[in-house]
Amino acid sequence: MKRTLLSLLLPLLCMAAMQAQDLITLRDGTDIEAKVLQVSPDEIKYKRTDNPDGPEFFLPTADVLLIRYANGANQVFDQARKPATETSPLYDIYANVDYGTTDLVTPGMRYREYQNLYRPSSYIRLPVDPYSPALSGVCSWLIPGLGQMLCDEVGRGFGYLGGAFGCSVLTVIGAAIMYDNPDAGATLAVCGSLGMLTIDICAIVDGVRVAKVKNMYEQDLRRQQLSSTLDVRLQPYVSSLSTATVRTPVAGVSLAVSF
C-alpha cells in the first residue's frame, strides 16, 4: 500500500518541482530555466534548475527581457538604450564647449565663410582637435605661410610665402645696387627688410588664428553630429496567446527610432 502511494506521489512531486522553477528570457530570445536568487538594478543572480546545488550565475539586467516566476508572476525589464549622445565618450568632451555658433555652421564650409563667426580668444583647446595653434605659429615663423598650409589652407599659405619671397628679392636688389646708387639701394633694402618682418609677424599671428578657428569649426560640427545621433530604443512587451484550453504567455520586443 505504501509503495503504491509512493509511486503515485512521486510523479506529482516531480511535476511540482518542475513547476517551481523560474524562467529567464533574454533579449535575444534565449530561455534559461533557473531559480532566481536575487534581482538588482545591475544584475540577476540565479542557479540552474538542472544543478540546484551548483554554482551561482550572474546576468546583466540589461540582457534580460523578462522573468516568469514559478508562482505565475512576470517581471519585465524595460532597459531602453540611451541615445548615443549620452553614452559616447566624446559627448563628455564637447558637452562644456559652446561658442554659440553651432547652429550657424554647416559641413563643407570654407574658411573664409566661417572665419568671422569665431573669436580666437574664446578658443578652448580639446585633446581631439586636429590642428595645433602652437605648431602652426612656429612653422609660420620658420617659413611664412607654412603654418597655414599645415592647417589645409594652402592658398593662404602661398600668399604669405609669395609676399615674403617678393620682399626678399627686393632686399637683394637693393643691396646689389647700393654700390652704384646708395640712396635707392638703401631705400629698397630697408623696404624689403621691413616688408619681410611685417609679413613674418602677420604669418605667425594668422597661422595661430587659422588653427584656432578651424578647430572651433570642427568642434561645432562634432557637436551637431552628436546632437543628431539616432536614438534607438528597445521596448519589451508581454502578451498572451489564448487557445481553447490553454493561455500561453508571449514575449516580444518593439523597436522605436527617433532622430
pLDDT given for residue 239 in this prediction: 57
**How do residues 170-204 score in pLDDT, each as one tens digit?**
999 988 888 888 888 889 989 999 999 999 999 99
Query: For the chain, what is the radius of gyration of the CA atoms?
Result: 37
Quote the pTM value.
0.55
Residues 65-84: tens digit of each pLDDT? 888 888 878 888 765 444 44
Q: How confident is the model at residue 16 (pLDDT cuts 50, 70, 90)?
A: very low
pLDDT value of position 12: 45
Mean pLDDT within 91-97: 66
Top-confidence residue, 250 or 224:
224
Q: Residue 9: pLDDT band by 50, 70, 90 thresholds?
A: very low
Task: State the DSSP code for 73.
Answer: -
Q: Tally Cβ neighbours within 10 Å of residue 22.
A: 20
Percent of the chain with pLDDT over 90: 33
Lowest-pLDDT range of 8-22, 23-37, 59-73, 210-224: 8-22
| End-to-end CA, the chain | 72
Q: Which one has a higher pLDDT value, 6 or 172?
A: 172
pLDDT band at 246 (very low <50, low <70, confident <90, very high): low
| Cβ contact 84:230 at 8 Å | yes
What's the confidence (pLDDT) of residue 137? 94
Quote the CA–CA distance of 250 and 245 in Å, as a whole number.
16
**Lowest-pLDDT range of 47-56, 220-229, 242-251:** 242-251
Q: What share of the chain is helix, strand, coil (3-state, %, to 5)?
A: 50, 20, 30
Give me the domains of the chain, ranges plus CATH numbers: 2-80 (2.30.30.100), 96-227 (no CATH)
Task: Work out the percent of the chain whose per-residue pLDDT is above 70.
Answer: 72
The grid cell for 144 is 611664412
